[in-house]
Amino acid sequence: MHHSIDEIEDRLDRATNLLRQAKNVAVLTGAGISAESGVPTFRGGGGLWEGHPIEEVATPEGFARNPALVWRFYNMRREALRQVLPNPGHLALVALEQRLRDRFTLITQNVDGLHAIAGNQRLLEIHGRLSRVRCTSCEFSRDCPGESLPALPKCPDCGDLLRPDVVWFHEMLPQDIWRKAELAVTRCDCFLVVGTSAVVYPAAGLVQTARQHGASVIEFNLEQTPASALAHVSLFGPSGKTLPEVMQRLRT
Ligand code: OAD
């Protein structure tokens, strides 16, 4: 996507004006916002791990079939998270929350925990969090970032197998968190959609929900996505640059 400089300036100004006028802002982020932190996106690099399609590994069926393989996948991803830090895109969303306070809600599909590490509090992690484990049988759950876990971690309360506290394909989202996300989107008058391919539901449906409730939609992505058709302004470029640029303009 190549635009002339004044085209980019014009888009940035339009996005900034929509955000400036907003009373309530909701944001939906996907793997793209963490790409510049070194976290691989799902649909960028061919979506394979050790030759397994992620859909095979990140599923209840895959876990039932071969829990050791799935744990190897997740322990690798947990280890990888030790090296990553929030990038300026994450920090721009912390600044936006500090500006708007309770008129701001951040909804993320990401399980890397980087928004929490960056400092966002009004955060809804609708796909769970990689650093947290939970028991496959009882209510036990624990957030254990940075800890290396055994090949088949067992519940300290009941002895059954633990699993990563993330949403797998075909699984329900945590209902209380999902409902809060939907509510925030119906109430917002400006909706930012950042770094998501907008193909995984129900998260992707939030863009439509925002439009239906009259919100202005601003997309931050490297390329066109299904959300682009619903966006009033699409800012093409790395969100680690475009989000801070909008925040810069907002302050002037
Ligand atoms: P994807 O990998 O599907 O999409 C990443 C999006 O980020 C793409 O649209 C890229 O163009 C964009 N992108 C990449 N680098 C970027 C950058 N530096 N700045 C801005 N945009 C950038 O990831 P998600 O949309 O998050 O589900 O995937 C949604 C869900 O599918 C994930 O939450 C996961 C996966 O299965 C579960 O874990 C349940």
Site to probe by mutation for ligand 1, drawn from 197, 219, 223, 235 as the one with most ligand atoms within 8 Å of Cβ, is 197
Give the pair of three-digit tokens for residue 216: 């202005």
pTM of the model: 0.95
Highest mean pLDDT out of 30-44, 51-65, 234-248: 234-248
CA distance 29 to 47: 19
CA of 90 to the centre of ligand 1 (A): 15
**Which member of 127, 170, 213, 232 is catalytic?**
127
For residue 154, pLDDT beyond 80: yes
pLDDT grade, residue 56 (50/70/90)?
confident
CA distance 36 to 89: 9
Q: Annotate 23-42 with b (16+ C-beta within 10 A) or e (fewer).
A: ebbbbbbbbbbbbbbebebb
- Give the nearest ligand 1 atom to 238 CA: 19
Domains, the chain, ranges and CATH? Answer: 5-39+85-127+173-251 (3.40.50.1220), 45-83+133-166 (3.30.1600.10)
Which residue puts its alpha carbon closest to atom 29 of ligand 1?
200
**Mean pLDDT of the region 116-128:** 98
3-class SS of residue 165: strand
| DSSP assignment letter at 102 | G
Site to probe by mutation for ligand 1, drawn from 52, 114, 125, 196 as the one with most ligand atoms within 8 Å of Cβ, is 196
Give the pair of three-digit tokens for residue 119: 């400092």
CA of 220 to the centre of ligand 1 (A): 12
Helix and strand totals (H; E) in the chain: 10, 11
Give the pair of three-digit tokens for residue 73: 């996948």
- Give the nearest ligand 1 atom to 167 CA: 39
pLDDT grade, residue 170 (50/70/90)?
confident
Which residue puts its alpha carbon closest to atom 17 of ligand 1?
238
Give the pair of three-digit tokens for residue 190: 């400006």
CA of 165 to the centre of ligand 1 (A): 19
Pocket flag, ligand 1, residue 115 (CB < 6 Å) = no
What integer pLDDT is reported at residue 25 of this predicted model?
98
What integer pLDDT is reported at residue 43 of this predicted model?
75
Give the pair of three-digit tokens for residue 40: 């691989």
CB under 8 Å to 145, separation ≥6 — which residues?
81, 113, 131
| Cβ–Cβ under 8 Å, residues 198 and 33 | no
Pocket flag, ligand 1, residue 222 (CB < 6 Å) = yes
How does the average pLDDT of the chain come out, rounded?
94
For residue 107, CA distances in Å to 56, 67, 68, 250 come to: 26, 29, 31, 21
CB under 8 Å to 246, separation ≥6 — which residues?
12, 15, 16, 19, 92, 235
Which residue puts its alpha carbon closest to atom 2 of ligand 1?
42
| Cβ–Cβ under 8 Å, residues 30 and 196 | yes
| Cβ–Cβ under 8 Å, residues 151 and 76 | no
Pocket flag, ligand 1, residue 32 (CB < 6 Å) = yes
| Cβ–Cβ under 8 Å, residues 96 and 103 | no
Residue with the bigger pLDDT between 58 and 100: it is 100
**Mean pLDDT of the region 201-215:** 97
The model's pLDDT over 185-200, given as tens digits with 9 standing for 90+, comes to: 999 999 999 999 999 9
pLDDT grade, residue 41 (50/70/90)?
confident
CA of 154 to the centre of ligand 1 (A): 31
